[in-house]
Structure 1
Amino acid sequence: MSFTYSKLTVEGLTLRIGRNGVGAPHDAVPLLMLNGIGFNAELMEPLARQFPGRHIVCPDMPGCGNSPDPVLPYTIKRVARAMESLMEREVPGRAFDILGFSWGGAVAQQLAVTASRKVARLALVATTSGLPLPAANPEVLRRLLDPTEYGHPAKLTDNFMDLLNEGGANAGLLRRFKSPTPQGVGCQVGALAGWSAAPMLPFLRMPVLLAGMAEDAIVPIAHQRALACLIPQAETIELRSGSHLLPLATPERIGPQLVDFFGQKIAMQNA
């Protein structure tokens, strides 16, 4: 089933919100899915299908998908506040799970730190804590961080298509992709620059799952291992084959582990 979409303004950010499973049983914990840099919510739909019967919320960040460009630059902390406000509107007073993929994993970590009583379980997939660890392929990092590489819409689209192909996208995923705007990508890159939740991660008390791919050229497995050192109670999954976009392109390879993790009992402090 595909998401249904509508727009909403939270914390001054106007976002297109994808939803699935609205009206799910009350004992099914809602799930917030946070996407990668420059990605639109349609790319998350195949992974969302791994969670039938769940109320799923998946926003387009400003300048991505059909969300308008941001008026001003923003920080990861501001986006995390916006996500907390969004979920309070969607499921008032309820705890929720988070699945953060790539860039979205940074927002997920920040939200888990600043709104820990709201987060029941946290899955971080192919993401980073902001530690100064390089991409496995320096050219990938250069294309993401060099403003001249995303300042022109046509060049930005070409670079993202290269990134999708290098990340292991299949034809179905490529058809779902909608190119972001230069301002949208620029603000996401700027928000990540200088951000880190690392000092607070050892204090997380909700169940945490870390998942990464050994062949990831965009966020190498070293980032997951660093996170595992910072969150010693976390469960870990390391897939020996597969690139960065495996969770979106072939979600059946990681979906059962994620479903099993999110099916566990909610931590007592969030009950």
Structure 2
Amino acid sequence: MPFTFRKSTIEGLTLRIGRKGAGSPHDAVPLLMLNGIGFNSELMEDLSRQFPDRPIVCPDMPGSGKSPDPVLPYTMQRMARSMAALMESEFPDRPFAVLGFSWGGALAQQIAVTAPRKVERLALVATTSGLPLPIANPEVLRRLLDPTEYVDPSILAQNFRALLHEGGASAGLLRRFMTPTPAGVGCQVAALAGWSAAPMLPFLRMPVLLAGMTEDAVVPIAHQRALSCLIPQAETFEVRTGGHLLPLAVPDRIAPRLAEFLSGKEALVNC
């Protein structure tokens, strides 16, 4: 089932919100899904199919998908407050789970720190705590730090499509991709650049799953292992083959473990 969409203004930010599972049982814990830099909600639809028994919310960040550009730059703290407010407006007085991929995983950590009593479970996929750990591929680092990669819309579109293709994305997934705006990508990169949740992560008390790919050249597995030191009670799950975009391009490789964790089941061996 694909997402249904509507636009909503949350704490001054106008966002396109993807929704599914409106007919789920009222006692099913809602799931907030957060995507990577510049990615639109449609790219998470295949992954979302692994969670059929719960309501799901998946917003486009400002300047991504069909959300308009932000009026002003924002911080991760502000966006975390907005996401908590969004879930409160959608599901008043109900706790929710968060699944964050890449940049979305960083935002998920900030949400857990900002609203710990609201987050029931936290799944962090191929993400970082903001620690100054190296990027495995120097070319990836060069692209991230080169402003021209974000200013020229044609280069931006070319790079994102190349990244999806290299990550094993199918033709169907590529067709669903919408090129983000330079302002949208720039604000996401800027918000992450000066951010770290590391000092607060040892105080998290909700169940946490850390999932990563050992061949990830964008967010090396070292980031996940650093997170496992910062969140001692977290479960870890490493996929031995596959790059950064495996959760979106081949969700069957990782989604079953995510579904088990979000349902409260015991860990399985790594695959």
TM-score, structure 2 normalization: 0.96
Indicate whether 1:103 and 2:103 are aligned. Answer: yes
Counterparts of 2:145 and 2:69 in 1: how far apart (Å)? 19
Counterparts of 2:170 and 2:215 in 1: how far apart (Å)? 16
Counterparts of 2:251 and 2:149 in 1: how far apart (Å)? 30
The answer to whether the 8 Å contact 1:79/1:107 transfers is: yes
Question: Deviation per CA, 1:146-167, whole angstroms, max 9, x where unpaired?
Answer: 2111101111111111222233
Counterparts of 1:90 and 1:29 in 2: how far apart (Å)? 12
Q: Which moved more, 1:42-51 or 1:162-171?
A: 162-171
The answer to whether the 8 Å contact 2:64/2:180 transfers is: yes
- Displacement of 1:170: 2.4
- Displacement of 1:82: 0.5
Please give the residue correspondences for 1:239-254 in structure 2 after superposition, counting only pairs within 5 Å: 239-254=239-254
Q: Which moved more, 1:115-124 or 1:240-249?
A: 240-249
Indicate whether 1:93 and 2:131 are aligned. Answer: no
1:114 is aligned to 114
- Displacement of 1:175: 1.3
The answer to whether the 8 Å contact 1:123/1:210 transfers is: yes
Please give the residue correspondences for 1:136-215 in structure 2 after superposition, counting only pairs within 5 Å: 136-215=136-215
Question: Deviation per CA, 1:99-151, whole angstroms, max 9, x where unpaired?
Answer: 00000011100000010000000000000000001211121122123211110
AA aligned opposite 1:183 = A
- Displacement of 1:243: 0.8
- Displacement of 1:214: 0.6
The CA RMSD measured in Å over matched residues stands at: 1.0
- Displacement of 1:168: 2.9
Q: What percent identity do the matched residue pairs reach?
A: 77
The answer to whether the 8 Å contact 1:145/1:189 transfers is: no
Aligned residues: 265
The answer to whether the 8 Å contact 2:167/2:249 transfers is: no
Counterparts of 2:225 and 2:19 in 1: how far apart (Å)? 32
Q: Which moved more, 1:140-149 or 1:40-49?
A: 140-149
2:236 is aligned to 236
The answer to whether the 8 Å contact 2:24/2:54 transfers is: yes
TM-score, structure 1 normalization: 0.96
The answer to whether the 8 Å contact 1:80/1:108 transfers is: yes
1:66 is aligned to 66
Counterparts of 1:177 and 1:144 in 2: how far apart (Å)? 20
- Displacement of 1:62: 0.3
SS at match of 1:150: helix
Counterparts of 2:80 and 2:14 in 1: how far apart (Å)? 14
Counterparts of 2:62 and 2:182 in 1: how far apart (Å)? 11
Q: Which moved more, 1:23-32 or 1:67-76?
A: 23-32
Structure 1: give runs of 5+ residues left out of the alignment.
266-271
- Displacement of 1:171: 1.9
SS at match of 2:134: coil
- Displacement of 1:70: 0.5
Counterparts of 1:80 and 1:145 in 2: how far apart (Å)? 24
